[in-house]
Structure 1
Amino acid sequence: MKSQEIRKQFLEFFQSKGHLIVPSAPIVLKDDPTLMFNNSGMAQFKEYFLGNGTPKSKRIADTQKCLRVSGKHNDLEEVGIDTYHHTMFEMLGNWSFGDYFKKEAIHWAWELLTEVYKIDKDILYVTVFEGSEEENVPFDQEAFDIWKTLISEDRILLGNKKDNFWEMGDQGPCGPCSEIHVDIRSGEEKAKVSGRDLVNNDHPHVVEIWNNVFMEFNRKADGSLEKLPARHVDTGMGFERLCMVLQGVQSNYDTDVFSPLIEKIEKITRAKYTIKAKDDEEEKINIAIRVIADHVRAVAFAIADGQLPSNTGAGYVIRRILRRAIRYGFTFLNTKEPFIYQLAEVLADQMGGSFPEIRLQQHLVQNVIREEEASFLRTLDQGLQLLENVISDTKEKTVSGQKAFELYDTFGFPIDLTALILRERNYELDEDGFDKAMFEQKTRSRAASEVSTDDWTILVPGNTETFVGYDLLVNEVKITRYRSIDSKKDGRLYQIVFDHTPFYPEGGGQVGDKGTLLNENETIEIIDTKKENNLIMHLTKQLPTVVNAAFIAKVDKRLRQDSASNHSATHLMHLALRSILGTHVEQKGSLVNPNYLRFDFSHFAKVTDEQLKQVEDFVNARIQEQLPLEERRNIPFQQAVDEGAMALFGEKYGDSVRAIKFGNSVELCGGIHVKNTADIWHFKIISEGAVAAGIRRIEAITSDAVKQYYNNQEKALAEIKLVLKNPQDSIKAVVSLQDENAKLKKQLEVLLKDKARNLKGELASQLEEINGVQFLATQVDLNAEGAKDLAYELGNLGKNLFLVLATAENDKPMLTVYISKELAAAKNLNASQIVRELGKHIQGGGGGQPFFATAGGKDILGIPQALEAAAGFINK
């Protein structure tokens, strides 16, 4: 059975059981501060389990794109080494929100596996929770009794808290679970060891495929459990593992989920993937191919959902995954040029039917991956040179763990590649020193980000919160719940929830509102507003003295107006870019705050100055037209799209949405906007540049920020005029100054060339012969270009010259090494390596070619030592 059919049958089965089929949420979570990525099928339904929202149906099923590479669920290091862990995977799931419970969940799971998919009952085992005295949770007798009606008792195993009690996190809904495991070993292997003994023991052919979680409890901050008001079912089945079972193979990578990718990798790299490796070399190639096939899925889907590789947060995780794939190709498949990007086409063909975003975003995915590959391959090349320096500085045969960590941390050079190269060179790595440096860094990072959260104190039960901020800036409110949080970074803060709030929570690129909470007795500053699990939380540094009193919530009007101005201008600019550059332009990220707006968009060339001017003119024309805001709230998503509203890839939209319209600009947006484009006053682009392959970024300002910008420009112009002694025509004066400077530069170049030629004779007489080499190391009063000219002039005198020239223009030391090509070959001398060694004396470094290289530095006082050390290379 093909994977597409397996997925289709799952969804159709649960649809027949009254489940609403919903699409996968984006793999990247943009508005959940507790998670970077969707790491399980239930992540998009958290608010329903917590009782902070009402699901569109009490029964839901889907297939969810998941990513597990950070936090509690982290399988990255196992990926590729074994055949059943993955970074990105699909989680097939069915949910009950206060509807059916254990009996239905278990019976339907068994029916689907054994009657629809026709899996042999004799290869299945199940587990139930054995209970925990520590948690005061009893043995799951109910699940055990249900299973006894379906499977023989010797195939029902008891599981401990680690294996059979599932928790969302340190706090929140949780409960016992019942897993279904499959044993696909051969009959011969089964005869030797019972499958019972291999369940939950990391055997590649005895694996869990389905977990049925019975949400009954809430984990409180003190670790205790309390009963939930309603019982839920949360199930997850690993799609890739299910395909392995149904397609009769021994590895997820042998299924048609991965085989097209593996075949493409084989074709590109000419490496051969073998189902059963005969030796270590074959297994290394197998692992590399598995890593690449797995990782490209994670990276491609993340990019398609709007997350670009970067140096921070979720972007760093994606970059790390891709670099791991590149490194495996570089080391074990001997790939020195970008190639992983070519796999995006295979993914689009293979999965575009179920996940249309991967097909629609294919070209963006390819361009981003290709640029990242090229960049990291250059980093690997640089890292190899730096590692050579480290090795040459090592007196013993053990390389410092701290040095290896610096290569890893500063340059992204993988530690396993460092260890591999050292072994090949008969060096050892101080692994303890590396682990210590890594631990210290993680400890610093963890300390900086560590947050502990207390339980909610609930004053008004139920989900009573309403956002009124589209219409009001000031509103009477009551506190419905609050809790304290302790952060190493910010200290103790409080999260407060109101019954009706005018404060907009951070989301959709717009920052959260600030303002005050006040009554006749006190005023409390609200420093930020965020949304988590469908709750709008107002952050303060103190609690009100009387929390159940009546308050006035007041949004900072000036900050709100500036944010609204920038947000509305963002919509107008999006339309302008699509009108001027083409409809391929799509938003790929944004930031809207009171000070400026930032907008990332897909485009594969620099936006010219003329095009930027056209964008500015387009937006300002819409401002001058005084277009009124046309807003439609709570309209069906599909209706809004059919009527022309633009929906963005990677955003999670509900069934009902809000559409914002200014003239021809129509977008789905939950943010705050001006009532009329005239309120924006004026729009000015400050900068444009690249942030990734195929992604450009524009930063712009509006309203008062534009006024301040022009005031600063006027002030700067006045200062320039003063420096130029108040000419009548400032532009003409600057052009004249530039012309004069250009003429003087040319005259200086001629003088320096003359000076170099004059020095040639003087320095030729200072050459001394050492071991058959014409040698000279001296400091000259020239700039770097002059030193280069002089070196080549002296180089014409013979074929055995070794020359080192030092210069100190503007107190910046520079070393120039020239070696006759014939001498370099005969004496095994390399100017690039030599200049790096000499550069250490001036606290610098450099490189070049074997016969000519330069190095810059910081310490001018080190020049004498560098010149003195030069002779040592010949004396050796």
Structure 2
Amino acid sequence: MNHILLTRMYSSGTVQKSAKLIRNEFLEYFEKDLGHTFIRSSPVISLNDRTVAFVNAGMNQFKGIFLDYYDPPAMKVTNSQKCIRISGKHNDLDIAGNDSYHHTFFEMLGNWSFGSYFKKEACHYAWDLLTKHYGIDKECLYVTYFAGDEKLELKPDLECKDIWLSIGVKRDKILPFGLKENFWEMGISGPCGPCTEIHVDHTKQLKNRSMQVNKSYTDLTELWNIVFIQYERYAVLSNGAIVPLSKHYVDTGMGFERLVAVLQGKQSNYDTDIFQPFFKAIQKYTKAPEYGGKFHNDKNELDSGYRILADHSRMITVALADGVVPEQINKLRKMIRRSIDVGEKVFKKEGILSELTYIVVENLGDTYPELQKNLKKILNFIIYYAYYIVQKIIEFEENLYKKLRYTCSKQWTKIIKTYPQLKSITEQLAPGLEDGYKYLQHVLHDLKMANILPGNVAFKLYDTYGLSVETITELAEIESLYFDKKVFQKELEDLKNRSRIGLEKSDVTAMKKSLEILEKNNVPKTDDSFKYKYTVNGNNYEFPKIESKILALIINGNIILNKANESTNKDINSINEIITNYDIESDKEEIGVILDKTLCYSTQGGQISDKAIICTKNFNFDINNVKKINGYVIHYGKLVQIDLRKCIEELKLKDDCLVLIEPEFRIGVMKHHTATHLLHASIQQIIGAVYLRNYIIIPQNLKCQFNSFGESLSLKQLNEIEELINNIITANVPVTTRILNTSELLAENSVTFIPGEIYPYNDIRLVDIDFRDLKSKEACSGTHVLKTGELEYFCFLNYFSKAATNFTLKATVGSLARSAKLAGENVQYKILDLENKLKNEKITQETLKAISKGIENEIKNDNNTPIPYLIKEECLVKLKYLNKIIRKQKEI
């Protein structure tokens, strides 16, 4: 049956299109008929943008192109993007389930032009698809265009209006709207432009409803938004001026769920075949009455319960499958707990959320293969690996929530008696709620005078008492205080930056003035790309020695610029005063040196910075810590046998220097960073649901903390991990690094991201280790060896777990690992010898006991030469057994 005949049958109501077919027709229309390139959906977690927690629109993954950071993968593309809207400007969390068309998770169908076509083609493509291919009656459609804005000196988009007229849209169905409805902006600055929207009348009435467009009617909704990115807003200008862009782009987005409702003739998105499978699964699992589709007079909130579970299960499953962690995204945890509550209170049944994950993967797995990756077949049953991971996390969260409710219920009753106003708080089980509210009460008298909740007070509620932004907002509303979110977000951003580069708050405060002076005097940022430029000559790594220039010194937070950069002395204290206040003998007093280029690695993530030396003609400077702030690499350390005044005079006269890193220190760090990647990949392979919380890499060892959602590693699993890693070391597999932009990175398969990490748009380093038994592919800015064989040997030094959520592993590689192995084998020989002596009974029981005690002390006190953890545990078990035999022989 041909495509045209099918379309006629669909429009006449003979055949109802399935949601899958509707999605495929959209993509095929742009890909096959109009020559667009298909780009798969990005993960729902934002990789580059700190301003949004989740990808909330189809354009998010193309933001780097709009900002001109890199070239597009193709001139015109199409895709179906997974989107989540539960925070920020687009927040549908509290609406989802209560109306017919808002969802926390939805799919955005889109097409983009990065210079290939513009307004005329975009409008024609959209109109033809809706009216000709999908067969929607033209009389049911309304279009809007930008009406202009006098303040911003933007004229009405009459070009767009004329295009719609030329297409054949009636004049009275082409409607002008202002900035709020028909002007799209990425943020307070950046690319922007007018948009045109297509709205659909679900009732299919023939009467003109133009006056009801954009008036929040549930049966007259926006269907497709077509954005013309042709301007850029500069927030730095006093009036926020908008200027034309040299390049013009098209960015369109159509809500898939709304489109399906229209084509299937449904008044509610929930009545389509997207959601009906969820309702059937819930009804079958709980034996509850069938879904009735009621939005009013909903007895016992049954139908809203159906909708909430269906909506939330889609969002939760997709988010977890894409690597979002409830521990880090409080709203995700809130949605899981809300779903649990609805399941238990409305449907009187536990475990519904886990059951619904199957429906999510069955319905979305074809379109988003990442939901069903690592497909495994056992006999005639198909088991999705993704199910295991998602369900394990959900079950862990359910158990955690149950325990929290049990332990906190009495406490909450007590709190409500004291503070009845807190009844309306959503997160009643937040551990720090009572103490946080007491703190707020303490400062409330001063706050009442201004009727404002300052950002720094809110930040303390967040940072010290662990309250979420939502709870803080609710507390502010209870006390009739305005919540200053801008200051709060600034404090939060400062915290993230300090954590990323290892600075205390006092350090950041001291650095602000220094950085302002550097930027004011146009001191160039440091080029540190040389840290990745090293080679192997035989078995030896060679690191370059680079000539550099000293741009500035930082002493006690005071900046001293070299003669070339210094334009004024008004911004700095006198040199004599700086020198007088500097205690050169104190270990705490360090000088910071800023260079124009360096090969030193600055502390980032968990990798420690390099040790190095800066050499000039007359003095040396030992570097023991390197930090990068706002593009300036600051080398902290001590002068070697030279007076500080002479050093400053040297800086004023001549700023040339030579920078050399300590090779063995760097090599040790590189080996352990590569080993960290192998450890991360092997743990994921062994237990699946796990994520790396943080790590510390030094030349001697690595230490990683994981969240495994309640699962601990057994000795057998630890042994399997050691074997996996040592096999790949023996195979001497290449460690390759590729430099990618965001678009290229998202096109890669099976990349491991660190939850919560924000990656740049450009110059992302993808470290790849590919072996038949173990594969590691991770975006990482660290330094690595070039072949796994250089690690020599891997072994665990320690393993311990904390509560039910976290475990920590300490390990080492190289000569240290081999020494540890030899030390362990030495202890094993001693235990074997002890066992033989027990059999021969040639020595006294007291002597045997003394030998046993000595071996045990050697195992437990391995400070000088550590013993591998697995050998240590094996030996301790063996000793315990032998001691038992010694005691029995003594009794006889």
Class of the TM-score when normalised by the shorter of the 2 chains: 0.5 to 0.7
SS at the partner of 1:376?
Answer: helix
Question: Structure 2 stretches of 5 or more lacking a match?
Answer: 1-16, 374-385, 435-472, 498-511, 535-542, 550-594, 636-650, 828-848, 858-875, 882-892
Deviations, residues 370-404 of structure 1 (Å, cap 9, x unaligned): 2322332443454543443345x46xxx8233895
Question: 1:31: Cα distance to partner?
Answer: 4.7
* Residues 1:668 and 2:685 are matched in the alignment: no
1:46-79, CA deviations, whole angstroms, 9 ceiling, x for partnerless residues? 1111111111211010000011112222221111
CA distance in structure 2 between the partners assigned to 1:55 and 1:236 by the alignment: 18
Structure 1: 5+ residue stretches without partners: 414-429, 480-497, 531-536, 718-725, 740-876
Taking a change above 3 Å as real, the CA distance of residues 606 and 668 of structure 1, as seen in their structure-2 partners, is closer
1:517/1:553 contact within 8 Å kept: yes
What TM-score do you get using the length of structure 2 for normalisation? 0.62
What is the aligned partner in structure 1 of residue 491 from structure 2? 448
Q: How does 1:49-448 map to 2 (within 5 A)?
A: 49-150=66-167, 151-185=169-203, 187=205, 195-222=209-236, 223-272=240-289, 274-277=291-294, 280-282=297-299, 284-310=301-327, 312=328, 314=329, 316-335=330-349, 337-360=350-373, 361-390=386-415, 393=417, 399-401=420-422, 407-410=428-431, 435-436=478-479, 445-448=488-491
Q: SS of 2:73's equivalent?
A: coil
Q: Which residue of 2 aligns with 1:471?
A: 533
What RMSD in Å do the two structures reach over aligned CA positions? 5.3
Percent identity (aligned): 30
TM-aligned CA distance change 1:109 to 1:733, over 3 Å: closer
C-alpha separation between the residues in 2 aligned to 1:238 and 1:103? Answer: 22
3-state DSSP of counterpart to 1:84:
coil
Look up the match of 2:853. Answer: 730
The letter for the 1-side match of 2:366 is G
The superposition leaves residues 172-230 of structure 1 with CA deviations (integer Å, 9 ceiling, x where unpaired) of 2111111111111364xx76xx5223222222111111111111122223233232221
Distance 1:553 1:373, change over 3 A: farther
Q: Which amino acid aligns with 1:140?
A: D
SS of equivalent residue, structure 2 residue 152: coil
Structure 2 counterpart of 1:216, one-letter code: Q
Tell me how far apart the structure 2 counterparts of residues 37 and 267 of structure 1 sit (CA, whole Å): 33
Q: Deviations over 1:791-847 (max 9, x none)?
A: xxxxxxxxxxxxxxxxxxxxxxxxxxxxxxxxxxxxxxxxxxxxxxxxxxxxxxxxx
Deviations 1:87-129 (A, max 9, x none): 1110101111122111111110101111111111111111111
CA distance in 1, matches of 2:257, 2:365: 17
Structure 2 vs 1, CA of residues 260 and 614 (structure 1 numbering), >3 Å: closer, same or farther? closer
The answer to whether the 8 Å contact 2:229/2:249 transfers is: yes
Q: CA deviation at 1:345?
A: 1.0
Cα distance change, pair 62–513 in 1 and its aligned pair in 2 (3 A): farther
Counterpart secondary structure, 2:479? helix
| Aligned pairs (5 A) from 1:614-693 | 614-616=720-722, 619=725, 625=730, 627=732, 629-631=734-736, 633=738, 648=752, 659-661=768-770, 665-671=774-780, 672-677=783-788, 679-680=790-791, 683-687=795-799, 689=801
Name 2:22's counterpart in structure 1. 6
SS in structure 1 at match of 2:288: coil
Change (3 A) 1:240 1:645: closer
C-alpha deviation, 1:163, in angstroms? 1.1
One-letter amino acid matched to 1:674: V
- Aligned residue for 2:431, secondary structure, equals helix
Structure 1 residue 445: Cα displacement: 4.3
8 Å contact kept, 2:258–2:269? yes
Q: Determine if contact 2:732/2:790 at 8 Å carries over to the other structure.
A: no
C-alpha contact (below 8 Å) 2:200/2:222 kept by paired residues: yes
CA offsets 1:620-679 (integer angstroms, 9 cap, x no match): 5765x4936353758999x999xx996559999999976435796543345432134465
Secondary structure (helix, strand or coil) at the match of 1:329 reads helix
**Alpha-carbon distance change, 48 to 575 in structure 1, aligned in 2, over 3 angstroms:** closer
For residue 76 of structure 1, give the secondary structure of its aligned residue in structure 2.
coil
Write the letter of the residue equivalent to 1:356: P
Letter in 1 for 2:428: L
Is contact 1:59–1:95 with CA below 8 Å preserved after alignment?
yes
How has the CA–CA distance of structure 1 residues 585 and 386 changed in structure 2, closer, same or farther, with 3 Å as cutoff?
A: closer
- Distance in 1 between residues matched to 2:614 and 2:136, nearest whole Å: 64
Offset, 1:308: 2.7
Distance 1:120 1:229 in 2: 38
- Which residue of structure 2 lines up, in the alignment, with residue 608 of structure 1? 714
Which AA in structure 1 matches 2:319?
A: A
CA distance, structure 2, for counterparts of residue 169 and residue 344 of structure 1 = 35
The code of the aligned residue for 2:491 comes to A
The corresponding residue for 1:538 is 631
Cα–Cα, structure 1 residues 436 and 406, in superposed 2: closer, same or farther, change >3 Å? farther
Deviations 1:253-303 (A, max 9, x none): 111111111221222233345555385343722222211111111110111
1:810 counterpart residue number: none
Compared CA separation, residues 38 and 276, structure 1 to 2 (3 A)? closer
Distance of aligned partners of 1:237 and 1:604 in 2 relative to their CA distance in 1, 3 Å threshold:
same
- Give the whole-Å Cα distance in 1 for the aligned partners of 2:177 and 2:251: 18
Q: CA deviation at 1:38?
A: 1.3
Q: Paired residues, what number?
A: 656
Q: Report the CA distance between 1:8 and its aligned residue.
A: 0.4
Shift in CA distance, 92/500, structure 1 to aligned 2, threshold 3 Å: farther
Distance 1:124 1:405, change over 3 A: closer
Q: Is the 8 A contact 1:526 1:540 kept in 2?
A: no
Distance 1:108 1:281, change over 3 A: closer
Look up the match of 1:702.
812
- Return the letter of the residue paired with 2:421: S
User: How far does residue 558 in structure 1 lie from its aligned partner after superposition?
Assistant: 7.6
For residues 8 and 506 of structure 1, what CA distance do their matches in structure 2 show? 47
Offset at residue 167 of structure 1 (A): 1.1
Provide the C-alpha distance between the structure 1 equivalents of 2:295 and 2:689, rounded to a whole number of angstroms. 49
CA distance in 1, matches of 2:261, 2:657: 59
Distance apart, 1:458 and its partner CA: 15
Q: TM-score, normalised by structure 1?
A: 0.63
In structure 1, distance between residues paired with 2:216 and 2:598:
50
CA distance in 2, matches of 1:367, 1:513: 37
Q: What SS does the corresponding residue of 1:333 show, helix, strand or coil?
A: coil
Q: Secondary structure at the match of 1:407?
A: coil
- CA distance in structure 1 between the partners assigned to 2:547 and 2:137 by the alignment: 60
| Aligned partners of 1:58 and 1:98 also within 8 Å | yes
1:813-828 aligned at under 5 Å gives the runs none
